Structure 1
Amino acid sequence: METGLEHGICDFSTMLQARPYLDIDPFHGSQGSLLKPTGNYSYRNPERKSEASSTLEVWGKGPLPKPTFSAETALIMTTGSNMTFKCKRQEKDALVPQLWTYLLLKEGNARPLQNQVTIRSWAYFTLLFVTTQDSGNYSCKYFGSQNPQRKSEASTVLVIRVKGSLPKPTLSVETALIMAPGSNMTLKCKRPENDALVPQQWTYLLLKEGNPQVLQSQRTSRSWAYFSLLIVTARDSGNYICKYFGSQNQKRESEASTALIIRVKDSTQIAYTVINLTRIILAALILAVIVILLSNDFKAQKVEKKPEDLCLEKQG
């Protein structure tokens, strides 16, 4: 028996101008289970033109096709970065135009992390300022507004890893590592260039080992900052390091830089050195004068001797 469902239009005699009623024949299937192809079916009488029946939506059996899931950013991220995913369903003409809800899933979470409703065949998900807790296995699903109970298969899993603290900065000295008292010292703290980090204001910290307090801080949008220590003394000698953090997440600091060993000469030692050097120079001058005097005296004695004295010296 031919029902007309195979052609997308059902033929049935009704009263002229009357609106027919369309239902599913229980012997041929039920909504959301057996009937194919998926689509809208209307009901008309070709001989006596009636008003079109109400539209009845019929869905195929099983889940919707599996979506594709990709990362718009790297799979290995640093904390404080933004992570973006894209979930895309297969585009099929047989699917009725409707609103689609896309779900972002993470293994171990009973509920979706995010959902996006759109008429498009794709949706984006963004995780802001990720931390190590955002590491894990992610996937996505989707369903249509016409039949929310019929979800798609889960996408292929993406394994995301988020590193701990912000990347380690470098600390360098713009002047010498060994300074004289009263000099000015300039240090430069620079963070690594990283496009994944969100543009923001950065605070750089200068620290000295053994001192729990921050010596100086500089706030800037650049990837580096300068610190100046003016009129240094021996007390400024020590090991210096720097760190930084962003304005978006001030609790997340970077690793400490490698320590720079700075030495400032002791002024008392310099004074002693000058005094000792002066003494050495004076002693050398005195010795030189004595040598010169003795040499001159010896020459004078040889000149003053008489010839007869020389003869007596020879006879003796």
Structure 2
Amino acid sequence: MWVCVLCQIPLCSPPARPSPASGSTMTIVSATFLCLGLCLGWETYLQTETLPKPTIWAEPSSVVAQGRPVSIWCQGAKEADSYYLHQEWVQQPWRNKFPQRPRDKVKFRIQLMTQDLAGRYHCRYQSQARWSVPSEPLDLVVTGMFDPPSLSALSGPLVTSGDSVTLRCGSWQEFAWFVLSNEGGNGHPKSPASQHQADGWSWALFTLGPMSPSHRWMYRCYGAFSGSPYVWSSSSNTLELLISGVSRKPSLSILPGPVVAPGDTVTLQCRSDAGYDRFILSKDGEQELPQQLVWKPQAGLSQTDFSLGPVSGSHGGRYRCYGGHSLSSEWSAPSDSLDILVAAQGLQWYWNVLIGVSVALVLLLFLLLLFLLLRHWHRSKGRTLDAAMKNPQPGEGLELDPQAAASAGPQDVTYAQLTHLGLRQEASAPPSSSSEQPPDEPSVYAALAVH
């Protein structure tokens, strides 16, 4: 059996051997055209059939730290002869591979992940002359190219079951967007665009929920610049969200007491009779939650001790504890809160309050005294003026107005002229007339003038 070397198609019968009369050239040309025609016909037939789309994935993850290895798998059909891996914006296949048995999948291994290898990939396979449909795209990301951002929960990492929580990813590098990664989850939510402050701080908010204790919620975030969507920063700190439920709350106590001197050690003891296997301690405003296994001093009772020390001002605050079972992601309801007061911090606070209250009291007394003095001064001035008007004394600065006295008539008249220099008074009795009756009682007139 002869085989066409152009497309590996077997011929049922070999071409006739050339005779000396006709020569060998015409025979070779005819065989070549025959083979070419068969290849074109075979290709036209094969183009009417396409192979199923393969599956592509990365192992251990499609998010790879710089310098770490990664493998890209492509799974097709058992009759596949070869597999091809394509990178977006690259004309030629990035790599091809011939499978060993079983022939339904191959592995493309990358020894060291670099920035140049980051991008979007797809694969396809070939069986004889047939090609498969390209696979879905795989985004291969390299991390560790920039400094990591920070990740925090706005209301704290403890979330009540059924509630929502908002996470904030931020950095002093002006990233165009941030990406949130959930360990064990599917996909990587990306912020539409980051927010920027004038001082260079950029951040993005991710709202999650409603939260349930069905599994552990552990998150990291990354930052990326525009124009390099597959080149990310180093990962942020890992933030674990703890879901609290409605199971029985534990009790929290402080030993030796809630007021602690700097440098001493304080113990917070969390205990319960609900059979919890572990406890966590939370402080208002803190993101980290210390977690410890329990010890059982007696049957049915579990407890653990959280030791803090040497104590400084940062240890002051409000604390709560939660209980949980090892086989569940749900935590109990919170214990009653307890406050730790660092002695130096407390004395300083009381001293500040005392100074403020003292200043307020002094100011209030001063205003009250000023009010009483003004009131007394006004009353004294009024009484002096009334007395001078009602009981004038001769020779004390009353000065008679001669013109007024001359025109006053036959009765005794007293005129008073008050100035800002003093009060003077004089009395004048006009000559009496035998024809006129004396007045019943004297009249007093006061003329006030300011010179």
Fold in common (TM above 0.5): no
Which of the five TM-score ranges fits, normalised by the shorter chain? Answer: 0.3 to 0.5
Larger Rg: 2
**TM-score w.r.t. length of structure 1:** 0.37
Which one has more relative contact order, counting CA pairs under 8 Å at least 6 apart?
1
